[in-house]
Structure 1
Amino acid sequence: MSVLHAGGFQVGLVTAAGFVAWLLIGLPAGVLVQRLPLRGTQVAMDLVRAAAIGSVPLAAAFGTLSLVHLVVVALLVSLASVVFDVGNSTFLPTVVPREQLTARNSLTSGTHAVNQLAGPSIGGALVQLLGAATALVTDAVSYLLSAALLRTLPRAAAADRPAPGQTPSVAAQIGEGWRYVTRHPVVGPCVAMATSVNFVCGALMTLTPVFLVRTLGAPAGVVGVLMATEGIGSLLGAALTPRLSSRLGSARALLLAPVVGAALALLMPMATPGAGLLLFAVGNAGFAAGVVVLSIVTRTHRQSTVPAELLPRVMATVRFVSWGAIPIGALLAGSAASLWGARTALWAACALTAVAPLVLLCSRVRGLRRLDELDAPHAPAA
C-alpha cells in the first residue's frame, strides 16, 4: 500500500476484500467441498491464488498498478481461499484419531505461527530490498509450490453419490448445517465468541500497519519484526493448548484464553516510538496467543463431535459467520482511523476484545469443564 500512498480507509478496503468472500460464498463452500474432487479443487485454488498475486508485480512493472487492481486481487485470493480452507478443516478428522485431534490441531497452528513469525520479518526485508510490489513474487511462488506438493498426495476416495433425483438442494444442505450450528449449546456460543474476536482481528489488520508506520514512524524492517510478534504469540498459544486442555479442561481453557488475550491487547495502543514499541510487541503476542488457544479448542471440539456428513457444512457455516466479521471490522477500523486517528481507533478495537469472554460467561459453557459434556445428551437434531 505504500506504493500507492494509501490512507487508513484504503488499507481497510483491501483488507476487507481479502475476507469478504466468506460472506459471498462461505455457506455454499461446504456443499462444494462435499461434491467436488478435493485434491483437484485445492490444486486449482492454489493456481488461482498464484496467478492473482503474480499479477501485482507485473502490473507494477508496467506502471498500471492501481487500488482497484489490488482490491480485485484480494477478492480473487479470498474466493479461492474459502474453498481451500473449508476442505482443509474437514480433512484432518478423517486421518487422525479423535484423541489426537488437539495435538494435531496445535501442530497445524504452530506451523502457521512459524510462517507468521518468519513471514513479516522476511517480507519487511524484501520490501526494503525489492520494493513492495516485487516482493509479492515470493508469495505467488509459495502457492505454486503448494499446488505441486498437493499433486503428490493420493486422491481422496470418491464419496457415495445419491441416486438421481435424490440429491438434496444446495439450499437444503446449507440449512441443515446452519440449524446445527445455531441450535447447538456449545457450537453456537463459540461461534458468537469467535465472531467478536474476528471483528477485532479485522480491525487490527487495518490498524496495525497504519499505526506503526504513520503514527509511530517505524521503518519497514521494524514493522515486519513487530508484526512477527503475532507469530510468537501464536506459537506459544499452540504449544500451551494441549497442556491447558488436559489440566484445566477444554471449556476452562477456552474461558481463560480470551480473558488473558484481552488484557494484554490493551498494551498495543500504549506503544510509543523507541523502547515503547515493546508494549506493542507484548500486546500483539498476547492477544494472538489467546486467539490461537480458542481456535484450536473450538476447532477440535467441532471435528470430534459433529457428524461426519455434516462437518463440511458446519465448518463452512462457522467460517461464514465468524470470518464474515473480519471485513466488517477492517472497514469500520479504516473509517475510524480516518476520522479519529489510528491510535484512538486502536484503543477502541482493543477495548472490544472484552466482548469474547463475556459471550462465554453468559452461555452454558460457563459451568463446563470440557466442551463435549453437553454433546451426548443435548446434541440437537440437524
Structure 2
Amino acid sequence: MSVSVDHETRPRRSGRDFWRYWAATSISTAGDGVTSVALPLAALHLLNASNFEVGLITAANYAAIVLIGLPAGVLVHRFPLRRTQVSMDVLRALLMASIPAAAWLDALTLAHVLAVAFLAGLATNVFDVANSTLVPYIVPKADLTRRNGLLTGTFATTRLLGPAVGGVLVQAIGAAQAILLDAVSYLLSAAVLGSMSRADTTDRHIDRTGFWERIRVGLRYVVRHPVIRPGLVAAGAFNFANGALLAVTPTFLVRTLDLPVGIVGVVMAVDALGAVVAAALVARMVSRFGNTRIVLASVAFAPAAALLMPLGTGSAAIWMFATGMCGLAAGVTVFSVVTRTHRQTVTPSHLLPRVMASVRFASWSATPFGALSAGAVAQAWDPRAGLVIACAAALVAPLAVWGSRIRTTTRLEDLEPLGAGEAETAPAAASRAGER
C-alpha cells in the first residue's frame, strides 16, 4: 500500500495562499495566450517564415521538456517551491522582453526567436512542475477536484481572452510589442507569488540517493501504476495532436481559409471556451458518475470531436473547425483535471515532484514531434493535411485508456500500482510523508 499525499499532516496554510497562487498563475497564462498568437505571427509577418519554420518555433518551445523534463522533478524537490517559481517568472520576463527589444533595433532573427522559445520552455517546465506540486500542499484533499477544475477553467478563460486580445494587438500595434505584455505578466506573477507564505514546502530530509537513481524511482512508479501509465500514453497522444495544431492552425486560418489576422486570435481562442465549460462541470460530473466513467467518456469524446476540424469546406469550414477545436479542448480538459487530481491524491508525497515531472516529460515530449510532423506535412502538401495528422494522433488516446485496467474498476483509487512499496524504503517514505 503506497503512502499517499497527506493533507492533514502538512503545515496549515492560509486560504489566502491559494488565491494568491491562483492570481499569479492566471496573470502569467493571460500573457501566454497573447504570445501563443504573437510569436508565430511575428515570425510570419516580421520574418516571412515558412510553414515549416513556424512549426520549428513551436517545436523549440516544447523541445526543452526533453532536455530538462526529468531533472526538473529532482530540482523542484531540492529547492523551495515559491522561490523556484519566482525565479522562473523573472527569467521568462527577461527572455520575452528581448523579442521586442531586438525588433526595435531591427536585429530580430529567426534564430533569436527559436532561442527564446527554447529557453522559455526550459523555465516554463521547471515552473510548471513546481506549480503542480504546490497545489496539494495548499488545498485540502476533499477540495482538489473542485480547485483543479477552477484552476483549469480560470487558465482556460485567460487563454480565451489572451489569443483574442493578442490577434487584435498584433494587428493594431505589431507582434513584437504584443509580446512585451507577456514579459510584464511574468513580472506581475513573480510579485504575487513572492507575497505568499514564506513557509518552506521543500522536503528537508537529507537523501543521499544518486541524482539519476532518484529520477529512475519516479519513472518506475509511473510505469508500474495501472492508472497513471495509460493516462500518460493518452496525454502523450493528445499533446502530439496539440503540437500539430499549434504548428498548423495559424497557417491554416491565414493561408487556407484566408482569414484576417485580427480574427485568427478569436478563432484560436475557441478551444479555451470548450475548456472553460468543461472545467466548470467536471467536479459535478465526477460526483455524479464517478471518476472512472468520466475518464473513459472524456478520452473518447475528445478525438471524436477533433475529426470535424479538417473536414469542412467552403463557408462551413470555419464553423466545423471551431466546433471540433472546442469539443477536443472540452474532452481533454475533463480528462486532464480528473487524472491530475488522481496523481496528486495517490502519489507518495516524497515522490510527487518526480512523478509530476515524469508525466510531464513523457507526455509533453510528444508536442515538438507533433509540431514538426504537422509542419513538414503542411509544407509538403497543405495545412489541412497537418490537421489530419493531429486527428490521427488523438485517436491513440482512447485505445490506451480503454485497453487498460481502468475499464474494469469503478474508482481510480482502487487500482494500486505494482510494487508500490518498492519505490523507496518504507521507513524513509513514511518519515518524509510526515515531514511534509
| Structure 1 contact 117–228 (Cα < 8 Å) conserved | yes
Question: By how many angstroms is 1:278 displaced?
Answer: 1.3
Whether 2:98 is the aligned partner of 1:52: answer no
Alignment map for 1:177-196 (pairs within 5 Å): 177-196=218-237
Indicate which of 111, 119, 135 corresponds to 2:154: 111
Identify the residue that residue 266 of structure 2 maps to in structure 1: 225
Identify the residue that residue 150 of structure 1 maps to in structure 2: 193
SS state of the match for residue 18, structure 1?
Answer: helix
Counterpart of 2:162, as a letter, is G
CA distance in 1, matches of 2:347, 2:365: 22
Alignment map for 1:136-215 (pairs within 5 Å): 136-157=179-200, 159=202, 161-162=204-205, 167-215=208-256
| Structure 1 contact 199–328 (Cα < 8 Å) conserved | yes
Change (3 A) 1:131 1:158: closer
Give CA-to-partner distance per residue, 1:147-196, whole Å, 9 cap, x none. 11111112232645345xx5211111101101100011111111111111
Question: By how many angstroms is 1:376 displaced?
Answer: 8.2
Give CA-to-partner distance per residue, 1:110-146, whole Å, 9 cap, x none. 1111111101110011001011111111111101110
Counterpart of 2:64, as a letter, is A
Which stretches in structure 2 are left out of the alignment for 5+ residues? 1-42, 424-436
Change (3 A) 1:72 1:310: same
Whether 2:413 is the aligned partner of 1:372: answer yes
Identify the residue that residue 240 of structure 1 maps to in structure 2: 281
Indicate which of 261, 264, 268 corresponds to 2:305: 264
Identify the residue that residue 288 of structure 1 maps to in structure 2: 329
Give CA-to-partner distance per residue, 1:240-274, whole Å, 9 cap, x none. 21122112211111111121111111111123454
CA distance in 2, matches of 1:216, 1:79: 34
CA distance in 2, matches of 1:158, 1:194: 28
SS state of the match for residue 201, structure 1?
Answer: helix
Whether 2:168 is the aligned partner of 1:125: answer yes
SS state of the match for residue 415, structure 2?
Answer: helix
Indicate which of 71, 93, 110 corresponds to 2:136: 93
Which stretches in structure 1 are left out of the alignment for 5+ residues? none
Question: By how many angstroms is 1:40 displaced?
Answer: 1.7
| Structure 2 length-normalised TM | 0.84
CA distance in 1, matches of 2:408, 2:383: 39
How many residues were matched structurally? 380
Identify the residue that residue 427 of structure 2 maps to in structure 1: none
CA distance in 2, matches of 1:327, 1:168: 32
| Structure 1 contact 265–283 (Cα < 8 Å) conserved | yes
Indicate which of 38, 52, 60 corresponds to 1:9: 52
Question: By how many angstroms is 1:77 displaced?
Answer: 0.7
| Structure 2 contact 299–401 (Cα < 8 Å) conserved | no
Identify the residue that residue 392 of structure 2 maps to in structure 1: 351
| Structure 1 length-normalised TM | 0.96
CA distance in 2, matches of 1:266, 1:160: 45
Counterpart of 2:366, as a letter, is A
| Structure 1 contact 184–380 (Cα < 8 Å) conserved | no
Identity fraction in percent: 51
| Structure 1 contact 185–374 (Cα < 8 Å) conserved | yes
Alignment map for 1:11-26 (pairs within 5 Å): 11-26=54-69
Identify the residue that residue 334 of structure 1 maps to in structure 2: 375
Change (3 A) 1:120 1:308: same
Change (3 A) 1:314 1:334: same
Change (3 A) 1:215 1:202: same
Identify the residue that residue 22 of structure 2 maps to in structure 1: none
CA distance in 2, matches of 1:48, 1:371: 38
CA distance in 2, matches of 1:279, 1:158: 46
Identify the residue that residue 360 of structure 2 maps to in structure 1: 319
| Structure 2 contact 303–395 (Cα < 8 Å) conserved | yes
| Structure 2 contact 82–194 (Cα < 8 Å) conserved | yes
Question: By how many angstroms is 1:333 displaced?
Answer: 0.9
